[in-house]
Structure 1
Amino acid sequence: MLGIGQKFPTFSMQACVSLEKGKEFKTISNADMKGSWAVVFFWPLDFTFVCPTELAEFNKEFKNFKARDTKVFGVSCDSHFVHHAWRTHHADLKGLEYPMLADIKKELTGALGVLHPADQVPLRATYIVDPEGIVRWVSVNDLSVGRNVKEVLRTVDALQTDELCPCNWEKGQDTLTV
């Protein structure tokens, strides 16, 4: 699995970015991450049960990521057409403000090493990538356990201080001095 301090892989893939007719799809690449912090999170499959709770929670917190100059990208191995259908038919996903990338060839999930060994679907991996494209944080959950989006935000805050942050540190608290 690609880890801390490594360069996030180069990628380019179709994404569902809207439900507006004629503006549904766009090619997204790592160039879209350049110059800002990014959260790239993976989910196993569209039209499942835990996954929409995570996508909806990332969307609920989208304004907080944006306030931290942090872009959000969601990825699964379903096609951009399947993403569009899921967004169309799931009330909690209609208004997503971030792109749903379609890694149908499993190139990015493969390069990161986040495919479930037996099921060959993405694990619930979350990467925080700095403005230079370097992985600064990775968290991976098993297929059955959803992630904590507030912890992702807390970690973005901690990384952006560029200081030592103690256990359970939250934005606004003192950092450690040496």
Structure 2
Amino acid sequence: MLTVGDRLPAFDLLAVDQDSEHAPSPETAFKRLNQDSFPGKWKVLFFWPKDFTFVCPTEIKAYGELLEQLSDRNTQLIGASTDSEFAHLAWRRNHQELKGQSFPWLADIKHELAGALGIIDRQEGVALRATFIIDTRNVIRHVSVNDLSVGRNPQETLRLLDALLTEELCPCNWHKGEATIHF
């Protein structure tokens, strides 16, 4: 698995990249994205195992609720799974909690990005619940991976992003606005 200090692998994938509830057709709902699609921005990239499941929409919704806060931090939120762009579009249109989501969901159906990151579950053949915080130079600055059955805490991702953005030493349980460590 790639880790802190490694570069985000090159990728070129289709994504559902808008509020798909209002997209008139798949042609306008899909967009090709790559590792350089968001120049000058930090990225929070999170993978979930499968569309049309039970834990995943709780995470997607919770991450989506952070869009404004992430934007204030010059950070792009990107979701991904090994499902197709058509599955993503159908799920966004048909799941009440996912309607109106307005951040891109990568369709990694060939497991290219998930495989390069090293986050494919060996038994299930799907992406693990992996979260990556990536800086403006596409360097991975944080990685966390959860068991398939356990959802993440997006607020913790935001806390970690805030700590990384200080470029200072941050103590345990540090939160934005608190003192950093100086010696």
TM-score, normalised by the number of residues in structure 2: 0.95
CA contact (8 A) 1:37 1:129 kept: yes
SS of 1:171's partner is coil
Q: Give the superposed CA RMSD.
A: 0.7
**Partner of residue 96 from structure 2, selected from 54, 72, 91:** 91
How much does 1:21 deviate?
1.1
| Deviation digits for residues 21-65 of structure 1 (CA, Å, limit 9, x no counterpart) | 142110011111331100000000000000000000011111111
- Aligned residues: percent identity? 49
Structure 1 stretches (4+) deviating beyond 4 angstroms? none
Query: Is the contact between residue 8 and residue 134 of structure 1 (CA under 8 Å) also seen in structure 2?
Result: yes
Code of the residue aligned with 2:8 in structure 1: it is F
Q: Which residue does 2:24 correspond to in 1?
A: 21
Cα distance between partner residues in 1 of 2:140 and 2:38: 12
SS in 2 for 1:151: helix
CA shift, 1:94, in A, is: 1.1
Query: Partner amino acid for 2:174?
Result: W
Q: In the TM superposition, what whole-angstrom CA distance separates every residue of 1:76-106 from its partner, at most 9, and x where no partner exists?
A: 0100000000001001111112101000000
CA contact (8 A) 1:33 1:133 kept: no
Residue 60 of structure 1: which of 53, 60, 65 is its match? Answer: 65
d(CA) in 1 for partners of 2:93, 2:138 = 32
- Classify the secondary structure of the residue corresponding to 1:138: strand
Within 1, Cα distance between the matches of 2:169 and 2:111? 36
What amino acid maps onto 2:9 in structure 1?
P
Matched, 1:163 2:168: yes
Q: Aligned pair 1:39/2:44, yes or no?
A: yes
Alpha-carbon distance in 2 for matches of 1:15, 1:21: 16
Q: Are 2:134 and 1:129 aligned?
A: yes
SS of aligned partner of 1:32: coil
Alpha-carbon distance between aligned partners in 2 of 1:156 and 1:33, rounded to the nearest angstrom: 17
What are the superposed Cα offsets for residues 141-161 of structure 1, whole Å, 9 maximum, x if unpaired?
000000000000000000000
Uncovered stretches (5+) of structure 1, i.e. residues with no partner: none
